[in-house]
Chains A and B, each alone.
Chain A
Amino acid sequence: MSAEAPVLVFVGQPNCGKSTLFNAIAGLKAETSNFPGTTVKHTHSRVIAQGRVLSVVDLPGTYSLNPQEPAEKAALAHLFQEKPDVIINVIDASILGRSLELTLELMELRRPMVIALNMTDLAERKGIHVDIGELESCLGLPIVPTVALRGRGIKELLAKVFEILDTGEGMPAAAPWSKDVESRILQLEEALAHGFPLTVNKRFTAVKMIESEDLSFNRLLSETQPRLKAVLDRVRKEIEEARGKPAYEVISAERHHLALKIFEDCAQVRHEHRVPPLEKLDGIIMHPFLGYAVLLAVLLGFFFVIFLAGNFLENLLLEPFQSLRGLLARSLGDGLGFHLADGFVQGVGGGVAIVLPYFVPLLFLMALLEDVGYLARAGFLLDTFMHRIGLHGKSVSPFLIGFGCNVPAVMATRILESRRDRVITGLLIPFIPCSARTMIILALVAAFLGPWWALGLYVVNMLVVAVLGRVITAFYRQSSPGLILEIPSLKAPSLKNMVRKTWIQLMAFFKFAWPLLVAGSVFLSLLQYFGADAVLNAVLSPLVVHGLGLPRELGVTLVFGFLRKELSLVMMLQALGVGYQELLGFLTRQQILVFVVFVNFFIPCLSTFGILWKELGRRVALLSAALSLTVAVLLSLLVRLLF
């Protein structure tokens, strides 16, 4: 609140460059990408700009103030809660006409506001020239043109914010309605009794009441405020009768037409006959047939680049750690000291030499796909197939994010409108091989059985997801609401964005996962030194030895796989007491495959389990764990029987 640092809130439609702008001001905090709805949780940051402390908040993108997804609802709840001192409305200048609809809604909040007219470079390239002065006078709001990606206009934006804070300017007038609508809104405003729980102000509350068809809201209102409900019903009916369409549609259409009128008055559009190269490329990417060829090529390219780069780096990096372990064995003997040091080196080495070589290329390529805007396109192309498993194209993005890490993928289910879709997608995400599992697949299956085996495992994995999807949706009677997804314009990737995103996730790995890997290795060393691992292995041996046909020493490593999937790999080598290169002397190819299949499918890792619990509830989390365990046991038994 304004008692201390003034609160600036960034609001804008998805994909308007809001997070990039926020990052330019707040430093490395929010993740950005070219997919609607990437910021699913709000990010708070305290920054010092020109010697003044500011509290800046980045909200999830929202198309309107009539939220339909949980991500949008979160945005609004915060917008109302924070009582921002200044609202920074970020607008994508290249789609000004539509973006202004949200601006008109925001103006109804009657809070000090400034518009960051972002992506002005893209707009110019599309032949859209915005007359800033004209737009300022049309809206009665200060406007600062920005190109967030290149840091242009940031200083001016902050200067404008300070000016608003100091002078109290920038208070918008609510946008005008047609006379007949205006008079009805006024009638409802007047009917709002003193003490009625207002959202922001009387006018905003009245407009939102007319717009809301929410049944529970209407029922509650008729029970608690029957007189107000009667006025609301009358006002709605009058609007509907006068215009011949539902009141909410009238309100929405009024805003739409006003936004388009302002756009036409304030912007000149030069229609170019030459199709820009990116749009030509988009034609191929979204082509009914070529699109799928591109998609396949992208996925295969993705896989091979990660494998080849990872394999090369792995071989390069493993050598020094192997010699270090040899050196330790020679100098420390076989005491507790050696076991501790060895466990430590295994953990550190496993992280650096086995995990990072695959992890970094994967993060980087993921960032590339997101930045270009390919995720939404993949959603379009795969919608048909998603329908076959009872979902639709919007779930594709959480799934694809799941290849990086399941945790943000589960969080990304917030972009789905219906709970049904969120639960089904949430139950399926743990079956998407995340980077940790990809690394296990590449480091074991691809390296020892060949890359095509690994690819085959992926295909089987996707089939498992499809079959499970069908099975789970059979339990739901209602069908999915269907795909409505904005496809943002294709953008040239920004190296800066990609490096930043890779860096943020890498830091998260160093902070949370790596210490766990090292601690797990040291812990296993201790267990081995005191012989305690034998107890765990004995307990698990019916499953591990008789069921899966694996050496009993691996029992303990499967348990630790629940903490981090990579841990199973790092600890596997340690438990067997072998170096990575000599693994084939101790395990057959079939055993490697069984081990990988089991680790790949069994139980979501601790963090995924936690986020499932938090996002979708305890029942879904427990169901997910039971489902994974069953699938893992069945599939690894099948692999054992078949190979």
Chain B
Amino acid sequence: MIQHKTKRSGTVILAQAPSGVPLRVVSIDGGYGVRQRLFSLGLHIEDTIELQSQAILRGPVLVRNLASDTCIALGRGVAQKIVVERLDER
């Protein structure tokens, strides 16, 4: 996997991350069930992802995994458990 070198410009919760910029998954909080589910669907820590769309009314977010080119919808609650880091701010 390509390791992106970035300065740590502060992390942000996925639910509050901007759309359309590359993000690196820093950590996934939550229990075994949620984490294992995300891993199975191909979302792992260190992956580069992009927020594609956010539904209205605090709805779910649409995440594209740039490495595997898969797309997952995450409920707001799940998206709040994922911490990401912006890769475009150097």
Contact partners of A97 in chain B: CB under 8 A: 42, 67-69
Is A64 interfacial (CB-CB < 8 Å)? Answer: yes
CB atoms of B75 and A392 under 8 A apart = yes
Contact with B along A277-309 (1 / 0, CB 8 A): 000000000111101100000000000000000
Q: Are A393 and B75 in contact (CB under 8 A)?
A: yes
Chain B residue nearest in CB terms to A264 = B1
CB distance from B22 to the nearest CB of A (A): 13
Residues of chain B contacted by A380 (CB below 8 angstroms): 55, 59-60, 62, 73
**Binary interface profile of A, 477-518, with partner B (CB < 8 Å = 1, else 0)?**
000011111111100000000000000000000000000000
Name A63's contact: one of B35, B41, B53, B69 (CB within 8 Å).
B41
A94-B69 CB under 8 A given contacts A253-B45, A484-B78, A487-B62: yes
Q: Is A252 at the interface (CB under 8 A from chain B)?
A: yes
Which of B42, B60, B65 is the one whose CB lies under 8 Å from A383? B60
Known: A95-B68, A213-B32, A257-B1. A482 touches B77 (CB 8 A): yes
Q: A393-B73, A393-B75 are in contact. Are A64 and B55 (CB under 8 A)?
A: no
Q: Would you call A483 and B78 a contact (CB within 8 A)?
A: yes
Residue of B nearest to A292 (CB): B56
Whether A126 touches B73, Cβ cut-off 8 Å, given contacts A286-B52, A484-B34, is: no
The contact string, 1 if C-beta is below 8 Å from chain A, for chain B 50-89, is: 0011111111101001011111111111100000000000
- Interface size bucket, B side? 35 or more
Chain B residues within an 8 Å CB radius of A245 = 45
A384 on interface, CB distance cutoff 8 Å: yes
Residues of chain B lying within 8 A (CB to CB) of residue A187? none
* Contact (Cβ within 8 A) A252 B34: no
B33 at the interface (CB under 8 A from A): yes
Chain A residues within 8 Å of B58, by CB: 384
What is the distance, in angstroms, from B47's C-beta to the closest C-beta of chain A?
8
Q: Are A286 and B39 in contact (CB under 8 A)?
A: no
Could you tell me if A68 and B59 are in contact, using CB atoms closer than 8 angstroms?
no
Q: In the complex where A481-B34, A487-B62 touch, is A260 in contact with B75 (Cβ < 8 A)? A: no
Interface residues of B in 14-38 (CB under 8 A from A): 32-38
In the complex, which of the residues A95, A384, A488 contacts B59, with contact meaning CB atoms closer than 8 Å? Answer: A384
Least CB distance, B13 to chain A, in whole angstroms: 14
- How many residues of A sit at the interface, in one of the four size bands? 35 or more
Contact, CB under 8 Å: A126 / B69 = yes
In the assembled complex, the CB of B50 is this many whole angstroms from the nearest CB of chain A, namely 13
A68 and B33 contacting across the interface, CB-CB below 8 Å: yes
Q: A101-B42, A484-B37 are in contact. Are A95 and B1 (CB under 8 A)?
A: no
Interface 0/1 of A60-76, CB less than 8 Å to B: 00011010100000000
Q: Find residues 445-490 in chain A having any chain B CB closer than 8 Å to their own CB.
A: 481-489
A152 at the interface (CB under 8 A from B): no
Q: Mark A28-56, 1 if CB is under 8 A from B, else 0.
A: 00000000000000000000000000000
Q: Give B54 Cβ to nearest chain A Cβ, in Å.
A: 6
Apart from A482-B34, A483-B74, list 14 A-B contacts with CB within 8 A: A68-B36, A94-B69, A95-B69, A98-B70, A253-B46, A256-B42, A260-B1, A261-B1, A384-B57, A384-B59, A384-B60, A481-B34, A484-B74, A488-B71
List the interface of chain B (C-beta within 8 A of A).
Answer: 1, 32-42, 44-46, 52-60, 62, 65, 67-78
A-B contact pairs, 27 of them (CB 8 A): A64-B39, A68-B33, A68-B40, A94-B69, A95-B70, A98-B42, A98-B65, A98-B70, A101-B42, A126-B69, A213-B32, A245-B45, A248-B32, A252-B36, A260-B1, A260-B67, A260-B68, A261-B1, A288-B53, A292-B56, A384-B55, A417-B33, A417-B37, A483-B73, A484-B41, A484-B78, A486-B72
For the complex of A and B, the 9 pairs showing the least CB-CB separation, nearest first, are A483-B75, A384-B59, A98-B42, A98-B68, A482-B75, A97-B68, A63-B40, A64-B40, A482-B77
